[in-house]
Amino acid sequence: MQGIEDKPSAGIWIRGVDARVKMIAVVIFIINATTLQDKTLLLTTAFLLLGISLIAGISPVHLVKRLAVILPFGGVMVSVIPFVTPGEPVWTLQLGAFKLAVTKEGWEAAILPCLRMLTAFLGMAFLTSTTSLREMTHALNHLKFPKILILLIDFTVRYIAVVMDELNRMQTARKARGFKPGRGLWDRHTVKTIGSTLAMLFLRSYERAERVYLAMLSRGYTGRYKCCGHCHRIKKLDLSFGAAMITVSWAIKLVDMGGIQWSPLLK
Amino acid sequence: MEPAIEVTKLSFSYKDGTRALDRCSVTVERGTKVAILGPNGSGKSTLLLHFNGIHLVQQGTVRVLGKTVNQHNEQWLRSKVGLVFQDPDDQIFSGTVWEDVAFGPVNQGLRGEELEAKVRQALRFVNMEQYGHKVPYHLSYGQKKRVAIAGVLAMDPDIIVLDEPVAFLDPAGKRALFELLNRLNRQGKTIVTATHDVDLAARWADKVIILCRGRVLTQGEPALLTDKTIVQEAELELPTVTEIFAPFPDLCQPKTPVTVEEARSIIKQLL
Amino acid sequence: MEPAIEVTKLSFSYKDGTRALDRCSVTVERGTKVAILGPNGSGKSTLLLHFNGIHLVQQGTVRVLGKTVNQHNEQWLRSKVGLVFQDPDDQIFSGTVWEDVAFGPVNQGLRGEELEAKVRQALRFVNMEQYGHKVPYHLSYGQKKRVAIAGVLAMDPDIIVLDEPVAFLDPAGKRALFELLNRLNRQGKTIVTATHDVDLAARWADKVIILCRGRVLTQGEPALLTDKTIVQEAELELPTVTEIFAPFPDLCQPKTPVTVEEARSIIKQLL
Amino acid sequence: MHIPDGFLDAKTWVSATVISTGALGYSIAKTREQLSDRQVPRLGVMAAFIFAAQMVNFPIAGGTSGHLLGAALATALLGPWSAVIVLATVLMIQCFVFQDGGLTALGANILNMGVVGVLVSAGLYGPLSRLVKGKTGVVLASFAASWASVMAAAFMTGAELALSGIPFAVVLPAMLGVHALIGIGEGVITAAVVLAVLNAGFSPNWLRKGDVCSE
């Protein structure tokens, strides 16, 4: 679980950009992108983000790995919607007695959310691959995000590493005594073993929480966290990067909203 | 001058009724190195948690630097007595080493330059200066231990209390830790450690306090550890050096050896 | 007769690229007591996890009781080599002591009478027979350690491997543990422990294997621990007894003492 | 069941975000009352535990395996208000670190798996474990709570997608059918964990019913 707290490996130059600016820009980009109606504009946005990501030094392999996380949901949606939407069939699949038909309306309904998903995915990939979680929580703090949530995220991330280590050691110890998970939920021994392992992990975590609290008390903790992080000044480079991203995003959005009315103006 | 810590007839029971301390009276003089010995469950940790005001006094009194500990001087107490917990993962909870060391001073109200200076100084003292930006997860056990100590040092306490500090350290880590504790002691800090390592106590401490089932069995010179009756009652063992000389009572006059140096000087006389 | 464990040119790297073992070759003879020494991060635990097939061999070979370890004899291997982890909380997870000790035998397919007998016998061996119905989570550290060992004994292994068995035990717990290990050894079991306690290794082991940065620095008699060059390179320390006699090279002929008994016999001669 | 970006329309995700923000705020206020200055360390370590618990693989049948959602487990062990916060924290980390679940869909995901999953669990677990005494009650209550929490989360997901204009109504029965099976896995494992925790002598104080494990 060490990946969580590590500095991202990608994004050599982009890592220097202030995390606040990056976050705001990417959030606006994603919100705008997920409301686009025009497929060409969506694709344009996607390629734009892909371009920035690649320029930032994010490896394509990394992107594909990340994509694997959201594919199940997206995949199911794309493979279901075209078949179940009523409309004019464009392609049929004969499975014995069953006949499945992809409808034009269904295809239309599926392709748009999927393009949006992909675009937003690229936006988030760009952000999370070039910014560590710590930089993000730090930025959120300066953006006046509720402090307690930031503290909780920081705390959780710190102890995910510790608790996952405990879990891994417990699983290794089980294996060392010849444990092999059974085939299914009806295997009582397997269910009992998994249940007891998690129960023990819970008790250990619960007690650790108490010890952590005592250790905090002993260093003068009074239930309030006082800010000690220093706030970096936002530099011109940061601002121009943010402004550029946001402008492009809104430009695409405006073209999408009023594309038809714009075209005569351009003539 | 008042002693650093003075505990009088302290009793303590946990909520579930377990009596952890039973009329304990101990004294820790200023500027000394004290080892609290006793088997697991003898009440060592419970006693330590009183020094820092984490456990509130139920019966008896605890005086620290001349002041009687009560609810109103909690914050003062925590800045005077630094507690280093056994498992550094319990103590280092922040995302980076720097932030963790800063936690105590920030609670004391330090900010800006002054804070920076304190944290830097504490990290330098434990030789972890270049690790400030590191994530605790990537540190070795010994490094974590030193960061935990830095977190306490940054609050500039007069008394540093460590619970079982060497349990999982390898020899190099132990050496580094004791070198550190001795340096602190030379600067005038009082150091209290709870341990069940008799060799360590014999070699390092100015005074030993032996606990057994919540009671103070005895306290005084490390030479107490050569007393077989005491050691047996407290379920401890003789220091290795003492064990070697046990069959030779004549050599143990006027004083049974406990440290390597004492052993050597006896052998030198024999040659 | 083949050695209990024979490791030849074993190398192992973790997924993140850290090289933990580098062409290690070690031999553990049957029925012996072996201590694997080395500082934290020297590869001790990684090596132990190979003995039990938890880590699969990447390069080199591991032979246990004459059979080359591979994926197909995993289950056999786990019944022959019992692994006791450092922290008993990592190992004990069941609702009762009895169930926990039964876990290994149940995985081996034992049921009914036979299972009962095995568990009872293992619990009796570690003196925890009357604790069968207890919740292991609430036992003392030393008791947990013994339950962890019982859990391994119940599988009736020929070789018992312990990672840092004494780190956190108090003297009474240590004594009980070593008495237990010696009893097992007398019954013909091969005992391997990883530790950084040189005194313990010097006192207890038939053979020491010294690891340093993933390599075997040397292996052989415990007397190796009196070699200052080796001890320094492995970031260890001299056994206390050796340290005492270090300034007297004449007394260290023909053999530098490492155990309390050896020290006593030298002193006896001096008198 | 983590909804990615792009499937929910603006009105749906904004409403979901508003509702879950409210629920989260209320939970934070509630736990602060109960835990006071223990709040952050306790909930932080517990969130780490739930995160770890979700990573554990368990076999379901025929070579397939599953993971816990954790809503019912967190509720049974920590009480509803802590559970909402713990699950929301885990979902936020999953969104920002692993990109599991979309950014605009974060509010909806918290609503489905955190808020609704927890409230349904709490609604069933408390009364059921009081109704049927002893360990049977605990097993029954945690199984029912887990199963229902999975179903509720699946239903919410479907409803939100439908609200967003995705023609989903047709597949909703199928989706609920699948989750009825997934819910069994969640239920069996959660019940096993809760039972083992109680057997070890720990009684969740949000219910104040230490009598369950006093046998």
Q: Looking at the predicted structure, is the pLDDT value of residue C255 above 50?
A: yes
The mean pLDDT value for D81-93 works out to 97
Q: Which of B76-80, B239-243, C167-171, C215-219 has the lowest mean pLDDT?
A: C167-171
Confidence at residue D214, expressed as pLDDT on a 0 to 100 scale: 28
Are B246 and B206 in the same domain? no
- Joined tokens for residue A37: 């109606």
Mutate to test the interface with C, among D197, D199, D203, D213 (most CBs of C within 10 A): D199
Would you list the domain boundaries of chain D? 10-210
Q: Looking at the predicted structure, is the pLDDT value of residue D68 above 80?
A: yes
The C-alpha of A124 sits at a distance from chain C's nearest C-alpha, in angstroms, of 25
**Residues of chain C contacting B243 with CB distance shorter than 8 Å:** 260
Domain that holds residue C169: 3-238
Distance CA A134, CA A154 (A): 7
Chains contacting D (3+ CB pairs below 8 angstroms): A, C
Q: Of residues B69 and A99, which shows the higher confidence score?
A: B69
Are B246 and B194 in the same domain? no
Are C194 and C112 in the same domain? yes
Distance CA B251, CA B269 (A): 10
Q: Which of A94-103, B61-70, B159-168 has the lowest mean pLDDT?
A: A94-103
The mean pLDDT value for C249-268 works out to 89
Strand partners, C208: C35, C220
Are B179 and B271 in the same domain? no
pLDDT band at A11 (very low <50, low <70, confident <90, very high): low
CATH architecture of D10-210: Orthogonal Bundle (1.10)
Select the residue of C140, C174, C264 nearest B41 (Cβ to Cβ): C140
The mean pLDDT value for B94-123 works out to 92
Select the residue of A166, A189, A203 nearest C90 (Cβ to Cβ): A166
Burial of B31 (0-12, 13-18, 19+ CB in 10 A): middle
Q: Looking at the predicted structure, is the pLDDT value of residue B123 above 90?
A: yes
The mean pLDDT value for B68-97 works out to 93
Domain count, chain B: 2
Q: Say if residues B201 and B26 touch (Cβ distance below 8 Å).
A: no
- Joined tokens for residue D116: 């609704």
Tens of pLDDT along A134-162?
888 888 888 888 989 999 999 999 999 99
Q: Do C90 and A169 touch (CB under 8 A)?
A: yes
Q: Quick check: A205 contacting C, CB < 8 Å?
A: no
Confidence at residue C158, expressed as pLDDT on a 0 to 100 scale: 96
Are C231 and C245 in the same domain? no
- Map residue B177 onto helix, strand or coil: helix
Q: How far is CA A214 from CA B55, B193, D47, in A?
A: 10, 18, 19
Q: What is the DSSP string of A51-113?
A: HHHHHTT--HHHHHHHHHHHHHHHHHHHHHHHHHS-S-EEEEEEETTEEEEEEHHHHHHHHHH
pTM of the model as a whole: 0.94
The C-alpha of A193 sits at a distance from chain C's nearest C-alpha, in angstroms, of 7
**Residues of chain A contacting D9 with CB distance shorter than 8 Å:** 35
Q: Quick check: A72 contacting C, CB < 8 Å?
A: no
Tens of pLDDT along B4-25?
999 999 999 998 888 999 999 9
pLDDT > 90: percent of chain B: 72
Q: How many CB pairs under 8 A join C and D?
A: 10
Q: Say if residues A240 and B110 touch (Cβ distance below 8 Å).
A: no
- ipTM score here? 0.94
- Joined tokens for residue D32: 């602060």
Confidence at residue A12, expressed as pLDDT on a 0 to 100 scale: 57
- Map residue A234 onto helix, strand or coil: coil
Would you list the domain boundaries of chain A? 13-132+235-266, 147-218
The C-alpha of A267 sits at a distance from chain D's nearest C-alpha, in angstroms, of 33
Q: Quick check: C167 contacting B, CB < 8 Å?
A: yes
**Residues of chain C contacting A165 with CB distance shorter than 8 Å:** none
The C-alpha of D179 sits at a distance from chain A's nearest C-alpha, in angstroms, of 14
Are B38 and B139 in the same domain? yes
Tens of pLDDT along C85-95?
999 999 999 99
Q: Do B240 and C240 touch (CB under 8 A)?
A: yes
Are C95 and C111 in the same domain? yes
Confidence at residue B41, expressed as pLDDT on a 0 to 100 scale: 85
Q: How many CB pairs under 8 A join A and C?
A: 58
The C-alpha of B42 sits at a distance from chain A's nearest C-alpha, in angstroms, of 19
Are B161 and B271 in the same domain? no
Q: Say if residues A122 and D5 touch (Cβ distance below 8 Å).
A: no
Confidence at residue D213, expressed as pLDDT on a 0 to 100 scale: 30
Q: How many CB pairs under 8 A join A and B?
A: 76
Mutate to test the interface with A, among B46, B87, B107 (most CBs of A within 10 A): B107
Tens of pLDDT along A68-92?
887 877 777 777 777 777 777 777 7
Q: Which of A23-37, A215-229, C135-149 has the lowest mean pLDDT?
A: A215-229
Q: Say if residues C171 and C228 touch (Cβ distance below 8 Å).
A: no
Q: Do C267 and B264 touch (CB under 8 A)?
A: no
Q: How far is CA A82 from CA A70, A72, A79, C179, D7, in A?
A: 19, 16, 7, 72, 15
Are C228 and C210 in the same domain? yes
Mean pLDDT of all residues belonging to chain A: 83
Are C254 and C153 in the same domain? no
Are C78 and C164 in the same domain? yes
- Joined tokens for residue B149: 């100590």
Confidence at residue D211, expressed as pLDDT on a 0 to 100 scale: 33
Within 8 A by CB and 6+ apart from D188, the residues are: A185, A191, D143
The mean pLDDT value for A170-199 works out to 94
Strand partners, C220: C208
Select the residue of A166, A170, A175 nearest C54 (Cβ to Cβ): A175
Are C185 and C229 in the same domain? yes
The C-alpha of B43 sits at a distance from chain C's nearest C-alpha, in angstroms, of 13
Q: What is the 3-state secondary structure (H, E, C) of D89-152?
A: HHHHHHHHHHCCCCCCCHHHHHHHHHHHHHHHHHHHHHHHHHHCCHHHHHHHHHHHHHHHHHHH
